[in-house]
Amino acid sequence: MNSGSSSVKYQLLDMRDGARLAMGLVERIGERTSRLKHTPAGRESRERDEPIADHEAALKAVARELAADGLGLDSPELAAIGHRVVHGGRRFTEPTVIDEAVLAEIERLIPVAPLHNPANLTGIRTAHTLRPDLPQVAVFDTAFHTTMPESAARYAIDVETADAHRVRRYGFHGTSHAYVSRATAELLGRRPEDVNVIVLHLGNGASASAVRGGRCVDTSMGLTPLEGLVMGTRSGDMDPAVIFHLMRVGGMSADEIDTLLNKKSGLIGLCGDNDMREIRRRVDEGDERAALAFDIYIHRLKKYIGAYYAVLGRVDALAFTAGVGENASAVREAAVAGLEQLGLAVDSGLNAARGEGPRLISPAGARVAVAVVPTDEELEIATQTYALVAKNG
């Protein structure tokens, strides 16, 4: 389960083979125009527009849909519920069975994840009321990044101030970076321990990570998901003094700047669109603002590829994933253009070809493999959850 403030995404997976039995999404919870979209495996989706007041009503509606397919939440075969939890701080380095103490710690982290952790908590509490007997497991977005060395995790600010307020780089999208870096090693026919990978998770939110032998050594998001790459609506890196300038000279409040940088910046701020398909269409029509937005996006991406190349020293693969990374061949081509000296290149035919699973797009014999590796955060959450529950008997 992936519970947002007004949405719940869910999947039911058969852990014998990882098969997806059903998936769905409840949107606009608490509004009059809520919508539930439920897709049983191999069958047509069912969409319903009905008012869904809160997360409990949402989960009950999901349970009803699952029951209609003979997959009710009351099934004795249901082994556990795995929850995506965005912020696990420094303490949660692994998936964790949820109890009162774990809930309290997730709650204690709300100041560093004010949008996400409260919604994640609501999802957990609600699932618990529906099946109090089931293990609920928290899988943290930050966990994969807890292996970052202090040199990468610490900001160069006063140590006492930073520690007093838990200011450090945590990183996000960890479930995806973990899954994709492993799947990339598999694609190369090698063990994750033997492979160094740069992962570019390019969705609406976007982050890069440097993974050495299966362990994250750096990632582009920081205290919050605002740092790093240019994203759909987030600025990513900039001089922090921009904020003081906007306060002092622009007369803006902290909340206004928060909204500006998180919701009205990045691609949407630069050109009015955050969907890469639309931006590419505009670029092809000669739209200059869209072209500049695309160039800024690519420039930042290149800087991170170069930075993580240097951090890793030796790179075996560069993996593109998430909505943009998996689909936008123009982004992949532009991001590695001119990096031949680093052993990086794409074969334009392979890059343009559509495909389903993980695939190589670098020319045969390339020094560094460039790959498209579709992410599957839900499968990863379920796999980690099931492994933990099975281990605990």
Q: How far apart are the first and last CA of the chain?
A: 22
- Supply 114's token pair: 């004010």
Under DSSP, the state recorded for 363 is P
Instruction: Indicate the residue among 172 and 309 with the shorter CB distance to ligand ADP.
Output: 172
| Residues in Cβ contact with 354 at an 8 Å cutoff, skipping those fewer than 6 apart | none
Query: Is 377 flagged in the annotation as binding?
Result: yes
Q: Does the annotation list 202 as a binding residue?
A: yes
Q: How far is the CB of 329 from ligand ADP (least distance, A)?
A: 8
Give residue number: closest CB to ligand ADP.
323
DSSP element (H, E) containing 152: helix 150-153
Give the residue with the Cβ less far from ligand ADP, 297 or 309.
297
**Interface residues toward ligand ADP, by CB under 6 A:** 203-205, 232, 274-277, 322-324, 327-328
Cβ proximity to ligand ADP: between 322 and 372 the closer is: 322
HSE-up of residue 162 (Cα within 13 Å, Cβ side):
13
CB closer to ligand ADP, 205 vs 312: 205
Q: C-beta of 48: minimal distance to ligand ADP in Å?
A: 22
What is the spatial distance between Cα 256 and Cα 328, in angstroms, rounded to a whole number?
Answer: 32
Nearest residue (CB) to ligand ADP, 237 versus 275: 275
Q: Which residues contact 163 (CB under 8 A, 6 or more apart)?
A: none
Considering the complex, state which of residue 192 and residue 205 has its C-beta at the smaller distance from ligand ADP. Answer: 205
Q: Shortest approach of ligand ADP to residue 270 CB, angstroms? A: 13
Closest alpha carbon to 315 in 216, 202, 206, 195: 195
Q: For residue 312, how many other CB atoms are within 10 A of its CB?
A: 18
Q: Which residue among the candidates 14, 54, 99, 141 is catalytic per the annotation?
A: 141
Helix count (H) and strand count (E) of the chain?
15, 14
Strand order in the sheet with 359-360: 215-219, 206-212, 196-202, 317-321, 369-372, 359-360
9 known member of a binding site: yes
Cross-strand pairs, 10: 24
* 141 is known as an active-site residue: yes
Question: CB of 201 within 8 A of CB of 320?
Answer: no
Check if the beta carbon of residue 283 is closer than 8 Å to that of residue 298.
no
- CB of residue 346 to ligand ADP, shortest distance in Å: 16
Residue 212 annotated as part of some ligand binding site: no
Ligand-binding annotation for 327, yes or no, is yes
84 is in an annotated binding site: yes
- The answer to whether 221 is annotated as binding is no
CB of 324 to ligand ADP, least distance (A): 5
Residue in 303, 273, 317, 363 with CA at minimum distance from that of residue 181: 317
- CB of 7: closest distance to ligand ADP in angstroms? 11
Q: Which residues are catalytically annotated?
A: 141
Residues in binding site for Mg(2+): 2, 377
Residue ranges of the binding site = 2, 9, 84, 201-205, 275-277, 323-327, 377
Q: Which residues are annotated as a binding site for substrate?
A: 84
